[in-house]
Amino acid sequence: GAVVSQHPSRVICKSGTSVKIECRSLDFQATTMFWYRQFPKQSLMLMATSNEGSKATYEQGVEKDKFLINHASLTLSTLTVTSAHPEDSSFYICSARPGQGLFEQYFGPGTRLTVT
């Protein structure tokens, strides 16, 4: 149980285009979902927290107009990287928490974004 999927696993896009990444909790309802990114040999960096039906809460320094997060249902959250630039190339990972008194957080397999 507690499986989180992400799609796509890998994407290459041209500078200036937008990319959407989907995160789904497959066997539980996720009241809260989180988006992280990780650069090579660095720690996970939390970008934002989203609750179903609410606006996402972004961490300091993360541009909310650039990284659009939508948590439309209890099993789906999306991250859209708008007007991507090469410096946005990174490993983007979502995670989901069942809530209802459960604090465990399960990570998706990640999406490797390369902006050329």
Partner 1 sequence: QKEVEQNSGPLSVPEGAIASLNCTYSDRGSQSFFWYRQYSGKSPELIMFIYSNGDKEDGRFTAQLNKASQYVSLLIRDSQPSDSATYLCAVIIAAGNKLTFGGGTRVLVKP
Which residues would be at the binding site for partner 1 (CB under 8 A)?
2, 32, 34, 43-44, 46, 49, 91, 93, 103-110
Residue 92's DSSP bridge partners are 37, 111
Nearest by Cα to 70 from 21, 13, 16: 21
Nearer to partner 1 (CB atom), residue 14 or residue 104: 104
Least distance from C-beta 35 to partner 1, angstroms?
11
Least distance from C-beta 18 to partner 1, angstroms?
23
Nearer to partner 1 (CB atom), residue 34 or residue 67: 34
13 within 8 A of 111, measured Cβ to Cβ: no
34 within 8 A of 59, measured Cβ to Cβ: no
